[in-house]
Chains A and B, each alone.
Chain A
Amino acid sequence: MQIAIRFARPYSTVQILNNGQTCTESLLRRNSVTTHCLELSMRKGKSKLIPEIISIDGDTSASENVVVSLSACKRTLEQEAEDLRRSFALTRTIAPFPRGQRSKRRANIKHAISKQKKLDSGAFGCHFEKLWGSFSEDKRTSFTYLDCLWFYLYRRQPYKAKVLTWIKKKHIFSKNYVLVPIICWQHWSLLIFCHFGESLQSKTRTPCMLLLDSLQMGNPRRVEPDIRKFVLDIYKAEGRPENEDFIYRIPLLVPKVPQQTNNEECGRFVLYFSKLFVEGAPEDFRVEDYPYFMNENWFTLEGLESFCEKLGTLNGLPLKGWRTSGRLKKKT
């Protein structure tokens, strides 16, 4: 049995979770299982919760003695209640709790994850960084990439401005190409900025964008409005002289590339797109010569498969499943 603390307005309640089921007040009332519910008023004297400081270091006994309290932000209380119910975000043990039991529960979660074949941003990022490290020095100077969650975070209001400041540090206007992995609506695709530092009049290099998507029938251009806003904000944040009209006229090209045959492969396709594009991209990308090598016969599925296998061993981890952190290590 686990005990969770949930903060609700105007007081906090302590609830008992029964077999993982959160017993909400209304549910309890309906089922009259009042014995399962402890209610504690946490408002003795102070209405504000004391921020918690957890000490990480020190001897083991010290960490056991740390008094834990949870700080909740007043602003988000209502939203929080909903989130918490879903994620057990504030679940913690109060009474001494047998360690083994807890880790068993977690091991089950881990097991479920290693079974799935779709790539999450953690696994994707890890493989992408390994892949990046395998490119030559030259390539790593003339190319750069944005973290695979940045575009996703940009689309979420509280992080928009932050993402733009992070991008500034990437100096994308001095790079030939910028790889931007995109995860949107649970689908991976690869956006590439080409020659953003050049003017639209340049004869040798055309500033443009490529969107490589292994699921053409999903209409890759549905993310175009977001991409346009993203690019406009990047130009603005960098204080570039180009005007809005120029930025909206930057071509967004969607070449016909090899397609996935199931509903889980897109992450691997994006990794392979990245590898092959970096290796094959011309020094000067011109829209006149588009689509270069990016056609339906760019690569075979066998090629993709052997690439994934190699990347998996390079990483010491299979390309499905992936990360094991300390306590979650599976017994082998």
Chain B
Amino acid sequence: MSDEASPAPPQDPAPSEHLNIKVTDNNNEVFFKIKRTTQLKKLMDAFCDRSGKNPTSVRFLFDGTRVQPTDSPETLDMQDGDMLEVHQEQVGGC
């Protein structure tokens, strides 16, 4: 789809199409394998699902910046082996 004159032959997809991403919440580490173009929402939901967290109560940070569910490894320029941190959202009122 996004063929920018790259000579990559279609029958042999580049090995870098998938990334391994480590997700950690300081207690657990989970490794995910994800396509560069896949929305990170899938990864975030999978992590929350497996660690029993409510997706609305945690925040994923990549290099300090909040990850939006619509971001993909490509839009964030992530490399193989990069790490996402999971932090509990904080509530403030009084």
B interface SS class: mixed
What's the Cα separation between A324 and B56 when bound, in Å? 7
CB distance from A126 to the nearest CB of B (A): 9
A56–B43 touching, CB < 8 Å: yes
Q: Please tell me if A8 contacts chain B, counting CB pairs below 8 Å.
A: no
Chain A: number of interface residues, binned into ranges: 35 or more
Q: Which chain B positions have C-beta within 8 A of A79?
A: 27
Q: Which chain A positions have C-beta within 8 A of B50?
A: 54, 68, 70, 92
Q: Which chain B positions have C-beta within 8 A of A204?
A: none
- Binary CB contact string for chain B from 33 to 44 against chain A (1 if under 8 A, 0 otherwise): 111001001111
CB distance from B66 to the nearest CB of A (A): 6
Contact among A57, A109, A120, A166 with B64 in the assembled complex (CB-CB below 8 Å): A166
Residue of A nearest to B63 (CB): A166
A53–B32 touching, CB < 8 Å: yes
**Interface members, chain A 190-231 (any B CB < 8 Å):** 215, 218
What's the Cα separation between A188 and B49 when bound, in Å? 30
* Residue of A56, A90, A149 contacting most chain B CB atoms (<10 Å): A56
Contact among B34, B44, B52, B94 with A90 in the assembled complex (CB-CB below 8 Å): B52
Contact among A56, A80, A153, A165 with B38 in the assembled complex (CB-CB below 8 Å): A56
A-B contact count (CB 8 A): 163
Q: Please tell me if A325 contacts chain B, counting CB pairs below 8 Å.
A: yes
B90–A121 touching, CB < 8 Å: yes
Contact among A57, A149, A266 with B94 in the assembled complex (CB-CB below 8 Å): A266
Q: Please tell me if A163 contacts chain B, counting CB pairs below 8 Å.
A: yes
Q: Which chain A positions have C-beta within 8 A of B49?
A: 92
A266–B93 touching, CB < 8 Å: yes
Q: Which chain B positions have C-beta within 8 A of A258?
A: none
What's the Cα separation between A68 and B25 when bound, in Å? 18
**Interface members, chain B 37-94 (any A CB < 8 Å):** 38, 41-46, 49-57, 59, 61, 63-66, 69, 87, 89-94
Contact among B41, B66, B90 with A325 in the assembled complex (CB-CB below 8 Å): B41
Q: Please tell me if A309 contacts chain B, counting CB pairs below 8 Å.
A: no
Q: Please tell me if A186 contacts chain B, counting CB pairs below 8 Å.
A: yes
Residue of B nearest to A55 (CB): B33
Chain B: number of interface residues, binned into ranges: 35 or more
A188–B92 touching, CB < 8 Å: yes
A56–B34 touching, CB < 8 Å: yes
A57–B33 touching, CB < 8 Å: yes
What's the Cα separation between A325 and B38 when bound, in Å? 16
CB distance from B48 to the nearest CB of A (A): 9
Contact among A53, A158, A169 with B26 in the assembled complex (CB-CB below 8 Å): A158
Residue of B nearest to A54 (CB): B32
Q: Which chain A positions have C-beta within 8 A of B28?
A: 70-73, 80, 89-90
Contact among B20, B25, B53, B89 with A122 in the assembled complex (CB-CB below 8 Å): B89
Residue of B nearest to A89 (CB): B51
Q: Which chain A positions have C-beta within 8 A of B56?
A: 110, 113, 122, 322-325, 328
23 contacts across the A-B interface (CB closer than 8 A): A52-B31, A53-B20, A53-B33, A56-B34, A56-B35, A57-B42, A70-B50, A89-B27, A92-B50, A118-B92, A120-B92, A121-B92, A122-B56, A122-B89, A147-B64, A163-B64, A218-B94, A263-B93, A265-B93, A325-B55, A325-B56, A326-B41, A326-B45
Question: 7 nearest interchain CB pairs?
Answer: A166-B64, A118-B93, A263-B94, A91-B52, A88-B52, A264-B93, A188-B92
Q: Tell me the A residues contacting B by CB distance below 8 Å.
A: 4, 51-57, 68, 70-73, 76, 79-80, 83-84, 87-92, 106, 109-110, 113, 116-122, 124-125, 147, 149-150, 152-153, 158, 162-163, 165-166, 169, 183, 186-188, 215, 218, 263-267, 322-328
Known: A54-B46, A120-B90. 7 other contacts (CB 8 A): A55-B32, A113-B56, A121-B92, A158-B26, A263-B93, A266-B92, A326-B55
